[in-house]
Structure 1
């Protein structure tokens, strides 16, 4: 993967940003660098499936540390890698999570298990809760996935949430589902290969063509 301007600069940037917002000690700084390589491997795998033109350059997977969407995904993987490599450094993982939230306006906690491949586009104002996410999940701005009475959704593969869409509670969303802008799904199931409009309990569900 091509990292612009460099992996070295990426490490310096993360440490500097954490230090400016929360403070980082020498041991935590070393832990960030130790977890960097594995986090980048996960980032590269995720980006390799993207159809977004900004994620490829000269035929290679491309990561610009100044592309907010790309950096957002990387910080999620980094926080998860830190807590995996250094379980005692929960405070550091929390700092990376809060850094992501501060910079990108996304609430995506490192204990939320996202699929290996997921996509986001302008994720400002989105909250991703502890649902069961299928591969190639995509969301945009102001999206919410959350619980109702402690029950979270189950989301299939290749599900797309457009801006302002919400999935809450005891929901089973099938594969290859498009959830239109501002749709609100609560405690309802959606079959595979569907287009979803409107709000529960009066959802409009149509089959996808093609």
Structure 2
């Protein structure tokens, strides 16, 4: 994969420099684990980018905030799964939070293909996430009384949405801007609007909205 605005050989050092700038604590030697798992993280990112219609396959721009946000998640998640190097993973999580205003913990299992429109204000809890997920600013997936939601494949969360608690968001559900799904289920393949008294209203989309985002949708 071609890396734009930075030589590939400098990517590991680039990430380590950012971490030490924001969080000048601990041993810099511990950060060398980043280099060990960099290629696997880039491979995961390349697969994701290849499916996003708005992005050029085979190209990763380190100055593209959404792409870099996804890269930092994949890097932290890869390191956690391979070595459980908690301190490094925490620093990568905090770096993503500082740069992109996203709360996306490294232990969360996000899908192989997902798209972030704008990362600002996104909060993701330890829930179940399906493939081809779309996230926009201020969207929240969170627990309620200890219960966490399940999101099927092809779910779109538009700005200022929330999916909380014991909710099942069925595949290809499109949560409209400002809608909250709290301890409720959606209908598959429908646009979800806010009804009265916290209820939900479902309407069929006029076209395949998911195909606007992904090449294989």
User: What TM-score does the superposition give when structure 2 sets the normalisation length?
Assistant: 0.90
Once the two structures are overlaid, the 10-residue window that deviates more, 26-35 or 175-184, is 26-35
Select 2:203's aligned residue among 194, 203, 206: 206
Correspondence 1:95 to 2:91: yes
> Which residue in 1 is equivalent to 2:63?
66
What RMSD, in angstroms, separates the aligned Cα atoms of the two structures? 1.4
Q: Shift in Å at residue 160 of structure 1?
A: 0.5
Contact 2:31 / 2:88 at 8 angstroms: preserved in 1? Answer: no
- In the alignment, structure 1 segments of 5+ residues that lack a partner are none
Contact 2:2 / 2:60 at 8 angstroms: preserved in 1? Answer: yes
Q: Shift in Å at residue 30 of structure 1?
A: 1.6
User: What TM-score does the superposition give when structure 1 sets the normalisation length?
Assistant: 0.92
Q: Shift in Å at residue 27 of structure 1?
A: 2.7
2-structure distance, mates of 1:46, 1:151: 29
Contact 2:190 / 2:203 at 8 angstroms: preserved in 1? Answer: yes
After superposing on structure 2, the runs of 4+ consecutive aligned residues of structure 1 that deviate more than 4 Å are: none
Contact 2:128 / 2:149 at 8 angstroms: preserved in 1? Answer: yes
> Which residue in 1 is equivalent to 2:12?
11
Q: Shift in Å at residue 207 of structure 1?
A: 2.3
2-structure distance, mates of 1:154, 1:90: 26
Q: Shift in Å at residue 84 of structure 1?
A: 2.4
- In the alignment, structure 2 segments of 5+ residues that lack a partner are 208-217
Q: Deviations over 1:151-201 (max 9, x none)?
A: 111111111010001100111111111111011110110010111111663
Q: Shift in Å at residue 68 of structure 1?
A: 0.6
> Which residue in 2 is equivalent to 1:195?
191
> Which residue in 1 is equivalent to 2:210?
none
